[in-house]
Amino acid sequence: MSEAGSAKERIGEALVRSGAMTEEQVKQVLLHQREQSGLDKLFGEIAVELQFVDQQTIEKMLGKKTGE
């Protein structure tokens, strides 16, 4: 896997690997997504709403994942 992560790596995994989020925080976001939001909100949107990371961190991570 490259430092930016593979295309198959999920954003939560990448955020944990980079130290931006803990595994417990990722679990909380996924639980919230299942129980509250369904498929209407993306992982990053919920993580920002829960104040686990900021929008800039999500954008930076997405840029790395897409190779920008």
In a domain, 6, yes or no: no
In a domain, 2, yes or no: no
Give CA–CA dist 51/59, Å, rounded.
15
In a domain, 34, yes or no: yes
Q: pLDDT of 11-52, one tens digit each?
A: 999 999 999 999 999 999 999 988 885 568 899 999 999 999
In a domain, 1, yes or no: no
In a domain, 38, yes or no: yes
**Total-model pTM:** 0.78
In a domain, 3, yes or no: no
Cβ neighbors of 14 (< 8 A, separation 6 or more) are 5, 61, 64, 65
Q: 2 to each of 29, 37, 61, 62, how far by Cα in Å?
A: 25, 32, 13, 14
Give how many domains the chain has, as a whole number: 1
* Residue 45 domain boundaries: 11-66
In a domain, 36, yes or no: yes
In a domain, 42, yes or no: yes
Better-predicted residue by pLDDT, 8 or 17: 17
